Structure 1
Amino acid sequence: MRKTGLLRVVLVRGICAICIATVLSFGCANLPAFAFTEQQKLVMEVWRIVNRAYLDETFNHQNWWFTREKVLKRSLNTWEDAYQAAQAMLQKLDDPYTRFLPPEQYQSLQTNTSGELLGVGLQIAKDDDNQHLRVIAPIVGSPAERAGLSPRDEIVAINGVPTGSFSLDEAAARMRGPAGTIVTLGIEREGTELFEVNLTRERINLNPVFSELRSEDTQKIGYIRLGQFNGNAVEDIRAALTKLEQQGAAGYILDLRNNPGGLLQAGIEIARLWLDEGTIVYTVNRQGILESFEAGPEALTQDPLILLVNGGTASASEILAGALQENKRAQLVGETTFGKGLIQSLFDLPHGSGLAVTVAKYETPNHNDIHKLGITPDQTIATEPLTREQFATSEDSQYQAAVQMLMKALMPSMT
């Protein structure tokens, strides 16, 4: 008997990601126990889940049944044999987001989602050609941020090994390691020559929310920076917003720059803190069936709201930004967002492994598909190189533009 777990959304590296539904306790009830080894059963389960749930019903124009028969002819005597067979099978889909996660990688993914990371603090993605490994955003306060790595930087080598053949999880695994050890990344950046950075790995606590009451032009405004949609984000945003309301904030700036996304449900719940009516997001599966997520009955505040976005604003961040912009609840300032509109579900597999599968795409409330396109802000302000100390200060032109836009929105209440 198969058991389906409650909806649980998990951060996937480079995705952002991202909606993840965890399905627990998979078995092989339809397969005779004597016919296959445990390793073959695992690969069969991977094939079955993809066959049932994958967004592209052509399977990248592959004969998926033939793929099944071919892999079952192989001798899979060890778990490593099974992992390699599963990975090779999924590579035929040419989808960097649909991937097999060996136990160590799967456990690391779950740990990261809970709010802790051991590594250099980079969210990464692969281009559609599945060759170029790019930075979505560095995590605030991480070794990667301190080294000046930026959204859309290309990681061409890890410890001298070219990254062209790495999957997302292989690249992430090579960048992880014991705290205090060093990893060397080869970086290509538009307008500069290839350079290397040495990053010292450390344990990174993902505290996603920073908030502060500020005074601008005699007005009290609430500044909130959200770094990631992890398991702590909703309650931390709720607490910050409640406190700022009690302190008398007249309007808000929500900073989503370099936020690579994370938990879809967190994005939906945070939207409900600002929206009391309207559609937040639509999801569309391979049958074209729409499912919508609606705003809650009562927002925490109706005060004016400005969002800061840039090329590192991705996935769940874009869901939140699209919902607030298209429901006329907020205006956006900054640069066009990353453009990640696919949804992955994560499935538990035997022996502690997992499987991420692209199962749907999402659309904004106005039915815009932003995948590869991103969301265009209401006011475009180019990103400037800033230190962490300059972020959201008088030296931050995007922040200053957001302040001016907020002051205009507050003018009726100021007269």
Structure 2
Amino acid sequence: MVITKSRLVLGATAVTLSTIAVTSLGIHSRGQALFKASPKELVDEVWQIVQRQYVDGTFNQVDWQAVRKEYLNKSYSNQQEAYKSIREMLKRLNDPYTRFMDPEEFKNMQVDTSGELTGIGITISQDEKTKQLVVIAPIEDTPAFKAGILAKDVILRIDGKSTKGMDTNQAVSLIRGAAGTPVTLTIQRNNQQKQFKITRARIEIHPVRYSQKQTPVGKVGYIRLNQFSANASKEMQEAIRNLEKQQVAGYILDLRGNPGGLLFSSVEIARMWIDKGTIVSTVDRQGTREREVANGRALTDKPLVILVDKGSASASEILSGALQDNKRAVLVGTQTFGKGLVQSVRPLDDGSGLAVTIAKYLTPNNRDINKHGIDPDIKLELSDAQRQDLWLRERDKLGTLQDPQFAKAVEILGKQIAGKGTPTAER
């Protein structure tokens, strides 16, 4: 199995509720299908792809051959009947990240190269145990973010409709819509229900923001990475180079609330920080391991602290895990989201699409972080009230000494700078 730019994505970037259903996947559409498969042929095509590629050779203890026999023995008079059977078939795997998209849904998940999307700006997944729809993270400065949606919020209802038994594709179809129109989410947070009426909008996303900060330990480069989109590595390179020209003494990389995105983007950005060593390994069901490694082209070797929280997922976990295991950075904040799966997304013969979990990823020290996440070196938790004050009501304090996690990062960075830039994690 080869890591490619066009097809592999990380499990945590499940669904961004917008016109682009899954952001930044690097999918290359093949345009109009050369031919339209019959309904039964489409069912079998999906079965065959799962048979060849699915990460678990036992298919999560499901008799996959019997599933094929069951669904190919059915008669299908149209594509919609086939779609329904395909969704039922995939549910047998008990894997929310292996999912079918009809042509409209698949079109909606394509990358918009302008960097804009229409929607409310949240990334969700389906909890593997409870089957509830859970917010991975809101995208910064989007309607959902400004409304106060937080990572780990459980979506109970969409415009009054219960989400019980609903998959992520169904949720997308209910939540997305035209800019300027409202949608109401009922969420559960800490055993309390809250209602949010959110107006959809056209959103322009710039994944990287950066600035030089004057701190008690000297000039610090502060880089906030919001998501691992197709242009994130280019913007990251620009940020580091400009901050190097300003002769900063060290860096704080803020991955809080970053829900992930492209696998190759996380690898490219990791290479900007480390000269040698493994970045990530992916392991398929045959046990075949593919490694991505540094290429000796790091842009800086100055001290680095990374801020993480429970909204840091997938690609964020690859990057932070790689830099932590290589002792290149100290992680400050809270335990990350915990999604260590990789999917291949591919078009089908009638214009629909399929996402299949094909591998898991391991950090350089062979840590499987799926369902657990990355533990920070320095744990510093903020209450929900603190987070809302910092991220919504008093945004000007974010990335300043009035931001408790940033202030701790500056303190740690000062010790690294005093120690000639050698990262030393305190526990």
Report the alpha carbon displacement of residue 113 of structure 1 after superposing the two structures with TM.
7.8
1:53 is aligned to 2:53 = yes
Give the 5 Å matches for 1:253-402. Answer: 253-383=252-382, 384-385=386-387, 386=390, 387=392, 388-402=395-409
Q: Aligned equivalents of 1:293 and 1:273: distance in 2?
A: 13
Residue 408 (structure 1) aligned to one of 408, 411, 415: 415
Q: Aligned equivalents of 2:43 and 2:52: distance in 1?
A: 14
Answer whether contact 1:11 1:109 (CA < 8 A) is retained: no
Answer whether contact 1:180 1:201 (CA < 8 A) is retained: yes
Report the alpha carbon displacement of residue 115 of structure 1 after superposing the two structures with TM.
3.0
Call closer, same or farther: CA 1:24–1:115 in 2, change over 3 Å.
closer
The percentage of counterpart residues that share the same residue type is 46
Q: Aligned equivalents of 2:145 and 2:24: distance in 1?
A: 26
Q: TM-score, normalised by structure 1?
A: 0.91
| Residue of structure 2 equivalent to 1:178 | 178
Call closer, same or farther: CA 1:83–1:75 in 2, change over 3 Å.
same
SS at match of 1:97: coil
1:242-276 C-alpha deviation (Å, 9 max, x unpaired): 11111111110000000000000000000000011
Answer whether contact 2:29 2:110 (CA < 8 A) is retained: no
| Residue of structure 2 equivalent to 1:71 | 71
Report the alpha carbon displacement of residue 287 of structure 1 after superposing the two structures with TM.
1.1
Q: Aligned equivalents of 1:305 and 1:225: distance in 2?
A: 13
Q: Aligned equivalents of 1:24 and 1:141: distance in 2?
A: 29
Answer whether contact 1:12 1:18 (CA < 8 A) is retained: no
SS at match of 2:307: strand
Answer whether contact 1:186 1:196 (CA < 8 A) is retained: yes
1:206-235 C-alpha deviation (Å, 9 max, x unpaired): 211101011112611110000000111010
Call closer, same or farther: CA 1:89–1:187 in 2, change over 3 Å.
same
Q: Report the residue type matching 1:347 in the other structure.
A: R
Superposed CA RMSD: 2.6
Q: Aligned equivalents of 1:332 and 1:6: distance in 2?
A: 27
Call closer, same or farther: CA 1:247–1:410 in 2, change over 3 Å.
same
Answer whether contact 2:25 2:110 (CA < 8 A) is retained: no
| Residue of structure 2 equivalent to 1:104 | 104
Answer whether contact 1:14 1:168 (CA < 8 A) is retained: no
Report the alpha carbon displacement of residue 13 of structure 1 after superposing the two structures with TM.
6.7
Report the alpha carbon displacement of residue 22 of structure 1 after superposing the two structures with TM.
6.0
Answer whether contact 1:8 1:22 (CA < 8 A) is retained: yes
Q: Aligned equivalents of 1:113 and 1:290: distance in 2?
A: 31
Give the 5 Å matches for 1:204-219. Answer: 204-217=203-216, 219=218
Answer whether contact 2:225 2:258 (CA < 8 A) is retained: yes
Q: Report the residue type matching 1:344 in the other structure.
A: Q
1:157-178 C-alpha deviation (Å, 9 max, x unpaired): 1011111211112112211100
Q: Aligned equivalents of 1:23 and 1:224: distance in 2?
A: 30
Call closer, same or farther: CA 1:322–1:18 in 2, change over 3 Å.
farther
Q: Report the residue type matching 2:289 in the other structure.
A: L
1:267-320 C-alpha deviation (Å, 9 max, x unpaired): 000000001100001111111121111001220001111000000000010000
Q: Aligned equivalents of 2:189 and 2:5: distance in 1?
A: 42
1:7-59 C-alpha deviation (Å, 9 max, x unpaired): 44457774489997869879xxxxxx9xx962221111100000000011112
| Residue of structure 2 equivalent to 1:246 | 245
Q: Aligned equivalents of 1:410 and 1:48: distance in 2?
A: 55
Report the alpha carbon displacement of residue 125 of structure 1 after superposing the two structures with TM.
1.2
Q: TM-score, normalised by structure 2?
A: 0.89
Report the alpha carbon displacement of residue 394 of structure 1 after superposing the two structures with TM.
2.8
Q: Aligned equivalents of 1:37 and 1:311: distance in 2?
A: 42
Call closer, same or farther: CA 1:410–1:6 in 2, change over 3 Å.
closer
Give the 5 Å matches for 1:123-162. Answer: 123-129=123-129, 131-162=131-162
Call closer, same or farther: CA 1:74–1:114 in 2, change over 3 Å.
farther
Count of equivalent residues: 404
Answer whether contact 2:7 2:344 (CA < 8 A) is retained: no
1:329-381 C-alpha deviation (Å, 9 max, x unpaired): 00000001011011111111122211000111011000011111111111000
SS at match of 2:186: strand
Q: Aligned equivalents of 1:11 and 1:180: distance in 2?
A: 31
Call closer, same or farther: CA 1:218–1:37 in 2, change over 3 Å.
closer
Report the alpha carbon displacement of residue 390 of structure 1 after superposing the two structures with TM.
2.9
SS at match of 1:110: coil
| Residue of structure 2 equivalent to 1:95 | 95
SS at match of 1:244: helix
Q: Aligned equivalents of 2:86 and 2:6: distance in 1?
A: 25
| Residue of structure 2 equivalent to 1:220 | 219
Call closer, same or farther: CA 1:396–1:23 in 2, change over 3 Å.
closer
Q: Aligned equivalents of 1:23 and 1:219: distance in 2?
A: 45
Answer whether contact 1:241 1:300 (CA < 8 A) is retained: yes
Unpaired runs of at least 5, structure 1:
27-32
Report the alpha carbon displacement of residue 111 of structure 1 after superposing the two structures with TM.
2.9
Report the alpha carbon displacement of residue 104 of structure 1 after superposing the two structures with TM.
1.6
Q: Aligned equivalents of 2:26 and 2:288: distance in 1?
A: 17
SS at match of 1:257: coil
SS at match of 2:110: helix
